[in-house]
Amino acid sequence: MLRLEKRPNPSRFWLYATPVVAVILTMVAGGLLFALMGKNPFAVIRTIFWDPVFGEFAWYLRGQLLVKAGPLILIAIGLALGFRAGIWNIGAEGQYIMGAIVGAGVGLAFYPTENRLIFPAMIVAGAFGGWAWAMIPAILKTRFNTNEILVSLMLVYVAQTILAKAATGFLRNPEGSGFPGSRNFGNYPAAANPDLIDGSGLHWGGVAALVVAVLAFVLLSRHALGFQIRLAGQAPRAARFHGVSPTKLTVLCMGLSGALAGLAGLFEVTGPAGQISIDFNTGYGFTAIIVAFLGRLNPLGIVLAGLLMALTYVGGEMAATNLGLPAAAIQVFQGMLLFFLLAVDVLTNYRLRIGAGAAKAGAR
Amino acid sequence: MDIGGINLVTLIASLMVAAVPILLAAIGELVVERAGVLNLGVEGMMIIGAIGGFIAAVATGSPFLGFVGGAAAGAALSLIFALLTQVFLANQVATGLALTLFGLGVSSLAGQGYNGIKPPPTPDLPFGPLADLPVLGPILFSHDWVVYFSIAMVALVWWVLKSTRTGLILRAVGESHDAAHALGYKVNRIRLLAILFGGAMAGIGGAYVSLVRVPQWVDGITAGAGWIALAIVVFASWKPWRALIGAYLFGGITQLQLTLQAAGSRIPVEYLSMAPYLITILVLVIMSSGRGRAALNAPAALGQNFHASR
Amino acid sequence: MKRRMLLATAALGLTMAMGGGALAQGMDKVKACFVYVGPIGDGGWTFQHHQGAMAVQEEFGDKVEIAYQESVPEGADAERVLTQMALSGCNIIFTTSFGYMDATNAVAAKFPDVKFEHATGYKRDQPNVSTYDARFYEGRAVMGTIAGMMTKSNKIGYIGSFPIPEVIQGINSSYIHAKKVNPDVTISVVWAYTWFDPAKEADAAKALIEQGVDVILQHTDSTAPLAEAAKTPGVIGFGQASDMAEYKPSPRVSSIIDNWGPYYVKRVGALLDGSYAQAAAWEGIAGGEVLIGEITDAVPAEVKAAAEKMRDDIGAGTYHPFTGPLKKQDGSDWLAEGQVASDGELAGMNFFVEGITGDIPQ
């Protein structure tokens, strides 16, 4: 009979092998799914994983990978810091929306002035918008002990309503014949966020994602705050004795993840999306949660995980157009990836043993 | 009985119907959380129940079998969650989120080709002349069987948790799984059963949306109802009858904002549609303010995986 | 990558030039691509566009290849999908939602030899972008006539999607024509803030019915309002975008059917025979883009006759749904006796006509 035995220390081998094994298992299971749907599994897997990077249109699609991965990485890093400390910010989608609205609002207020300081001001405004929205669950948790998962989630719906109001009301383009949607930032150079190298998909958001990844890595591994975050997550009592204030940590982690999500929203609305519209948000805030876990809550891992997730999106779209694969199949695929990762992860902390578990004295 | 142009009786009758999906999902999740497991995948289980129930109803022509199908589908999906969290000891929050994503995807895939189809209708229970009573008639005697079933389930869960041995064991597992294990109870098995129950309830709730409320199948038809159900469990302090109140409150406010619009109210639409969520947050704050988790009645072992080391 | 694109367009340009005049050249085979905002099984907006695509396939057989992608979100994803379609050889791409406007124009700039057709939009920044729309308000005039005559409570309801000109045209047209046949009628508007959300639409319909409304008009695309109406005897509604025939003979007593087939066939045909030119099309009953679905027997004979006459008059061009004398909601004059609203006024319509209570959300 198989049983699990806790390891004294997490296995370093499995720490790195888990994502790889999970991806391989997902490809196999996904292939089976595609075969059941009547598609050639190898053609689908190739279209999703190989073509965007090395295929016929890769020169265009590689850039698109960065477009999709940038916001995911940015948000996921903020979330990962919180998750490590046991602070569950599930409302990143709402913070993303609010950052976009506040940032876009500041920029549009200056229209049509041209000034090099407008875009930096918008960046600050976007980060502020997301930070402020995340402060609501943070303060409610620290003052009233209200569950931050639920509050941040409810605020996502509120943010969506505010977005609809912004697109049809206070941010609506006055020269748009009454149609919903703000001015397009492509037409306002001082506030636009175009590709830094044309067609590469790398806009300021992508740059920010990479910079933040490096900073977060340094923070977690070398800085005292990073140590406190890791400690609070793994041994809350010990953290208390060490002097870590749970209030300060909550406010800091929520605030940081909110600010990063808001930044992602700002870069997205001034760049690829182009304008504030009623359904401008596409679920990055939720997908980023998966990216955070896929990346093992480690900033460098998150960069890779973000690119992998982007691959499934971009490749999945190609499969939808060229092979008739329904878009939902990709969602199933992504869900399976996370399932396998979570399942295989057990081997990092536990060892597999065969045989009846003999009772041991004090085996804790 | 009209207040501000709105008929109170019809409002109460319609909020009872609107609340059924979230009530069923909430009561199921309440049992799961009382056993110490936090399953965030309610949305996924609801929508799997919605498509599972829809397919079953259309295939068999019987709406009742549709609800059975919905329950089965929800339970089957929750089995994945049980496997990952009880056997593979995966993080419960992440697993629940993955379950939601997976459930949304699978339901969409399974539902291809079922768009726009009309399911067999579920009629109101015939109470005859009772349904014509002035106030009580529409409120108490004019609903389909699922509405009464949902209220009955609340009563059943309350009674089991409070007065039976099974309920006691369940609560013990949720408060301290180590102590329960030491006493000889099979913690993982009890949690598995609780998870399956939660999945089945969520599945029936989802099936109600696609078979009665709308009734139709569309991608994402549950539109976040699963998350509301989670909020209601906290709002209810894990007490069944409070979950009923919470569900009716939320259902009522959602219905009210549309009713106010139809009655020509001058309150801007956007504020009305925000209201249900803001009020939920407000209530959550009031319920948890100033006191620790113990006073909140949350099961002490909520969210922690159990691994027997002997 | 830029070089590749330049080479490709250069090559194409050379062939065209050598062919003797770019647009005069017909094509042997056309790949027509469609970008849908929802699933083709939605039984409404996207379903009808797909019917149009199928009509093109049927008309031209081997000379046409159809490709499509469903449920494409508006924004950056739309741009990517359009680019992919253009790269994979589409000659004409139909983008079937207002929200694709900026993406369509942006990609059109990068692919000058691919034709783009944007539904319900107004931007034609590039010479290869055309727009097309349908005069849904003409259909509303017919529905409004039926509504005004058949309502017993004198209350009709309208489920609006978003407060944009197209929807306001619909509300105004419905009300004007209901009032013409029934001076006591009032209209209640509920804003659902969605094009397609069956649960919300069902709730909106229920709210209206509870207020005493017995005729429901909808600008949202699912059958949910009709399903809700079916629960209460005496409430009728209309099919929207597609016929919604499973709710015949009641509550669906008629419908407005979006018929994109003729337009799609016309445009692809123009591409095949070389007569394609940039256009801004806005057809209605006359052009066949708006069809009135079968008026069932639940409708009394004289109501049916009046509705059919309205439809025929509009189709013949002898009657315009927005003909004066008409005043705006605030009492000011809008159209004088016999004066007809211009296309420009309709395209930017942001006011209710006199007699409608309630504000348009800003």
DSSP conformation letters of C87-104: HTT-SEEEE-SGGGHHHH
Q: Is A175 on the interface with C (CB under 8 A)?
A: no
> Residue A171: closest CA among chain C residues belongs to which residue?
C362
Mean pLDDT is highest, among A16-25, C169-178, C353-362, for C169-178
> Residues A170-203: pLDDT tens digits?
888 877 766 778 888 877 877 788 877 776 778 8
Cα angle for residues A44, A47, A50 (degrees, 5° grid): 125
User: Do C208 and C188 touch, CB atoms closer than 8 A?
Assistant: yes
Locate tokens 């993080």: which residue? B91
User: Do A83 and A297 touch, CB atoms closer than 8 A?
Assistant: yes
Q: Is B273 on the interface with C (CB under 8 A)?
A: yes
> Residue A165: closest CA among chain C residues belongs to which residue?
C362
> Residue C200: closest CA among chain B residues belongs to which residue?
B214
Residues in chain C with CB shorter than 8 Å from the CB of A183 are: none
Q: How confident is the model at residue C13 (pLDDT cuts 50, 70, 90)?
A: very low
Q: Is A9 on the interface with C (CB under 8 A)?
A: no
Q: Average pLDDT of C222-228? A: 86
DSSP assignment of C241-254, as one string? ES--GGGTTTTEEE
Closest-CA residue to B47 (of B179, B183, B221, B177): B221
- The pair phi, psi for residue A173, each rounded to 5°, is -65, 115
Element (H, E) at A121: helix A118-144
Query: For residue C288, is pLDDT > 90?
Result: no
Torsion angle in degrees (nearest 10) through CA of A82, A86, A87, A89: 80
Return the amino acid letter for A344: V
Q: How far apart are CA A201 and CA A60, in angstroms?
A: 9
Claim: this prediction has a pTM higher than 0.95: no
Sorted by sequence, the CB contacts under 8 Å of residue A305 that are 6+ apart come out as A19, A76, A291, A292, A294, A295
Q: Is A322 on the interface with C (CB under 8 A)?
A: yes
At residue A315, the pLDDT reads 86
At residue B25, the pLDDT reads 96
What is the SS3 assignment for C332? Answer: coil
Structure-token pair, residue A249? 């940590």
Q: How confident is the model at residue C362 (pLDDT cuts 50, 70, 90)?
A: low
User: Does the residue B215 lie in any domain?
Assistant: yes
Residues in chain B with CB shorter than 8 Å from the CB of A329 are: 105, 109
Sign of the four-CA dihedral C203, C204, C210, C216? negative
> Residue B93: closest CA among chain A residues belongs to which residue?
A88
Q: Is A184 on the interface with C (CB under 8 A)?
A: yes
For residue B306, count other CB atoms closer than 10 A to its CB.
18
Q: Is A277 on the interface with C (CB under 8 A)?
A: yes
User: Do A330 and A318 touch, CB atoms closer than 8 A?
Assistant: no
Q: Which chains touch A (3 or more CB pairs under 8 A)?
A: B, C
Contact C162 A180 (CB under 8 A): yes
Q: How confident is the model at residue C125 (pLDDT cuts 50, 70, 90)?
A: confident
Q: How close, in Å, is residue A150 to chain B by CA atoms?
A: 6
Residues in chain A with CB shorter than 8 Å from the CB of C93 are: none
Q: How far apart are CA B74 and CA B81, in angstroms?
A: 11
β-sheet bridge partners, residue C280: C131
Q: How far apart are CA A75 and CA A69, in angstroms?
A: 10
Sign of the four-CA dihedral C245, C251, C252, C253? positive
User: Does the residue B308 lie in any domain?
Assistant: no
> Residue B92: closest CA among chain A residues belongs to which residue?
A342
**Would you mind telling me the total number of residues written for chain B in this entry?**
310
Q: Which of residues A164 and C111 earns the better pLDDT score?
A: C111
At residue B76, the pLDDT reads 96
User: Does the residue B179 lie in any domain?
Assistant: yes
Closest-CA residue to A337 (of A84, A18, A61): A18
User: Do C102 and A275 touch, CB atoms closer than 8 A?
Assistant: yes
Query: For residue A100, is pLDDT > 90?
Result: yes
> Residues A28-58: pLDDT tens digits?
998 898 888 888 888 888 888 888 888 877 8
Closest-CA residue to B41 (of B71, B82, B69, B88): B82
Q: Which chains touch C (3 or more CB pairs under 8 A)?
A: A, B
Residues in chain B with CB shorter than 8 Å from the CB of A364 are: 309
Q: Average pLDDT of A126-138? A: 95
Residues in chain C with CB shorter than 8 Å from the CB of B113 are: 41
User: Does the residue B161 lie in any domain?
Assistant: yes
How far is CA A352 from each of CA B88, B307, C283, rounded to the nearest angstrom?
11, 13, 70
Contact B214 C199 (CB under 8 A): yes
Q: Is B216 on the interface with C (CB under 8 A)?
A: yes
User: Does the residue B79 lie in any domain?
Assistant: yes
Which residue numbers of C have CB closer than 8 Å to B's CBs? 39, 41-43, 47, 71, 157, 188-191, 193, 196-200, 202-204, 206-208, 210-211, 213, 222-224, 227, 246, 357-359, 361
Q: How far apart are CA A149 and CA A353, in angstroms?
A: 36
Residues in chain A with CB shorter than 8 Å from the CB of C71 are: 327
Is the ipTM value over 0.90, yes or no? no
**Alpha helices (H) in chain C, listed in sequence order:** 2-18, 45-60, 76-87, 101-110, 136-150, 165-181, 198-210, 224-231, 261-273, 301-316, 343-347
Q: Which of residues A57 and C104 earns the better pLDDT score?
A: C104
For residue B34, count other CB atoms closer than 10 A to its CB.
25
Return the amino acid letter for C31: K
Residues in chain A with CB shorter than 8 Å from the CB of B272 are: none
Return the axis-axis angle of helices B42-60 and B92-110, rounded to nearest 10°: 30
Q: What is the DSSP letter of C72?
A: P
β-sheet bridge partners, residue C335: C326
Q: How far apart are CA A271 and CA A201, in angstroms?
A: 10
Torsion angle in degrees (nearest 10) through CA of C267, C272, C275, C276: 40
Q: How close, in Å, is residue C86 to chain A by CA atoms?
A: 11
Percent of chain B at pLDDT > 90 equals: 37
For residue A125, count other CB atoms closer than 10 A to its CB.
21
Q: How far apart are CA C318 and CA C286, in angstroms?
A: 11
> Residue C210: closest CA among chain B residues belongs to which residue?
B10
Q: Average pLDDT of B136-144? A: 77
CB pairs under 8 A between A and C: 85
Contact A317 C122 (CB under 8 A): no
Q: How close, in Å, is residue A158 to chain B by CA atoms?
A: 5
Ordered by where they begin, the domains of chain C are: 2-134 (3.40.50.2300), 136-256+292-347 (3.40.50.2300)
User: For A326, what's the count of Cα atoms within 13 Å in the CB-facing half-sphere?
Assistant: 22
Contact B255 C203 (CB under 8 A): yes
Residues in chain A with CB shorter than 8 Å from the CB of B80 are: 339
β-sheet bridge partners, residue C95: C35, C118
Q: How close, in Å, is residue C292 to chain B by CA atoms?
A: 20
Sorted by sequence, the CB contacts under 8 Å of residue A147 that are 6+ apart come out as A141, B234, B284, B288
Contact C1 A320 (CB under 8 A): no
Contact A336 B102 (CB under 8 A): yes
DSSP assignment of A275-325, as one string? S--TT---SHHHHHHHHHHHTTT-HHHHHHHHHHHHHHHHHHHHHHHHH--
> Residues A262-321: pLDDT tens digits?
999 999 888 888 888 887 877 888 889 888 988 888 899 899 999 998 988 888 888 877
User: Do B258 and C203 touch, CB atoms closer than 8 A?
Assistant: yes
Q: Can you give chain B as a three-state secondary structure string?
A: CEECCEEHHHHHHHHHHHHHHHHHHHHHHHHHHHCCCCCCCHHHHHHHHHHHHHHHHHHHCCHHHHHHHHHHHHHHHHHHHHHHHHHCCCCHHHHHHHHHHHHHHHHHHHCCCCCCCCCCCCCCCCCHHHHHCCCHHHHHCCCCHHHHHHHHHHHHHHHHHHHCHHHHHHHHHHHCHHHHHHCCCCHHHHHHHHHHHHHHHHHHHHHHHHHHHCCCCCCCCCCCHHHHHHHHHHHCCCCHHHHHHHHHHHHHHHHHHHHHHHCCCCCCHHHHHHHHHHHHHHHHHHHHCCCCCCCCCCCCCCCCCCCCCC
Percent of chain C at pLDDT > 90 equals: 40
User: Does the residue B129 lie in any domain?
Assistant: no
Locate tokens 């969650």: which residue? B81
Element (H, E) at A64: helix A58-84
Tell me the Cα Rg of chain C: 22
Domain with B221, as residue range(s), is: 2-121+145-288
Longest dimension (CA), chain A: 78
Contact B112 A328 (CB under 8 A): yes
From the list A168, A186, A279, which residue is nearest C74 (CB)? A279
Contact B262 C200 (CB under 8 A): no
From the list B5, B7, B115, which residue is nearest C43 (CB)? B115
Q: Average pLDDT of A142-159? A: 86
Q: What is the DSSP letter of A6?
A: E
Q: What is the DSSP letter of C328?
A: B
- The pair phi, psi for residue A277, each rounded to 5°, is -130, 170
User: Does the residue B31 lie in any domain?
Assistant: yes
Structure-token pair, residue C280? 């801004």
Q: How many domains does chain B have?
A: 1
- The pair phi, psi for residue A96, each rounded to 5°, is -60, -50
Contact B214 C224 (CB under 8 A): yes
Q: How far apart are CA B30 and CA B205, in angstroms?
A: 14
User: Do C213 and C189 touch, CB atoms closer than 8 A?
Assistant: no
For residue A356, count other CB atoms closer than 10 A to its CB.
8
User: Does the residue B136 lie in any domain?
Assistant: no
> Residue B84: closest CA among chain A residues belongs to which residue?
A343
CB pairs under 8 A between A and B: 146
From the list B94, B285, B310, which residue is nearest A342 (CB)? B94
From the list C223, C358, C359, which residue is nearest B216 (CB)? C223
Query: For residue C4, is pLDDT > 60?
Result: no
> Residues B166-217: pLDDT tens digits?
999 999 999 888 888 888 888 999 999 999 999 999 999 999 999 888 788 8
- In our burial notation (b when 16+ CB lie closer than 10 A, e otherwise), range B220-258 reads ebbbbbbbbbbbbbbbbbbbbebbbebbbbbbbbbbbbb
Residues in chain B with CB shorter than 8 Å from the CB of A335 are: 98-99, 101-103, 105-106
Q: Is C102 on the interface with A (CB under 8 A)?
A: yes
Contact B5 C211 (CB under 8 A): yes
Contact B11 C208 (CB under 8 A): no
Residues in chain C with CB shorter than 8 Å from the CB of B18 are: 203
**Would you mind telling me the total number of residues written for chain C in this entry?**
362
Q: Is B272 on the interface with C (CB under 8 A)?
A: no
Cα angle for residues C201, C205, C209 (degrees, 5° grid): 170
Residues in chain A with CB shorter than 8 Å from the CB of B293 are: 145
Domain borders along chain A are: 74-288
Q: How confident is the model at residue C19 (pLDDT cuts 50, 70, 90)?
A: very low
User: For C91, what's the count of Cα atoms within 13 Å in the CB-facing half-sphere?
Assistant: 20
> Residues B49-96: pLDDT tens digits?
999 999 999 999 888 999 999 999 999 999 999 999 998 888 888 889
> Residues B244-276: pLDDT tens digits?
998 998 888 777 777 777 777 767 777 777 887
CATH of the domain at B162: 1.10.3470
Q: How close, in Å, is residue B104 to chain A by CA atoms?
A: 8
At residue C11, the pLDDT reads 40
